[in-house]
Amino acid sequence: MKFASLRLIAGDIHGLVAFYELVTGLKANWPAPVFAEIVTDSGTLAFGTAETVALFREGSAEPGANRTAVIELQVDDLEDHYARLKDICEVVHPPKLLPWGNQTFQLRDPEGTLVSLYMPATDAAKARFGGR
């Protein structure tokens, strides 16, 4: 099995895609007006409009309703990303060291999902990620 993507259902797909383009520094591909993807080296962030839910099963997903997911993006320079984003995105918390060794800060995307940018900070955390 191969992890392919994480798809977010958006009330405002253009606003949501613009947020993730800003955060990742990557441009989205738009295979259809109701669907976009940002492809990274390790996986894909996919975005669909609320209308795309009916293609699977009406009501099975709802924009802005999730408060359980945290999208985590590993970065090389956490302070640089924080300085770039802190005044233009909703910051949930500033950079801090977590008990498992990652230095992180969190944002909230326009639909309410938490987005955590992090980098391994301790030797143990760096070892888990192959020294990246």
- State pTM to two decimals: 0.89
Whether residue 62 lies inside any domain: the answer is: no
Across the chain, what does the average pLDDT equal?
A: 92
Residues 80, 38 share a domain: no
Domain extent for 124: 67-132
Is the domain of 28 the same as that of 52? yes
What does the pLDDT look like over 30-87, one tens digit per residue? 999 999 999 999 999 999 998 888 777 877 778 888 788 899 999 999 999 999 999 9
Contacts (Cβ under 8 Å, ≥6 apart) of 117? 23, 72, 73, 75, 78, 81, 82, 85, 104, 105, 106, 107
At residue 131, the pLDDT reads 59
Confidence of residue 129 (pLDDT cuts 50, 70, 90): confident
Within-domain flag for 78: yes
Residue 90 above 80 pLDDT?
Answer: yes
Residues 98 and 129 in one domain: yes
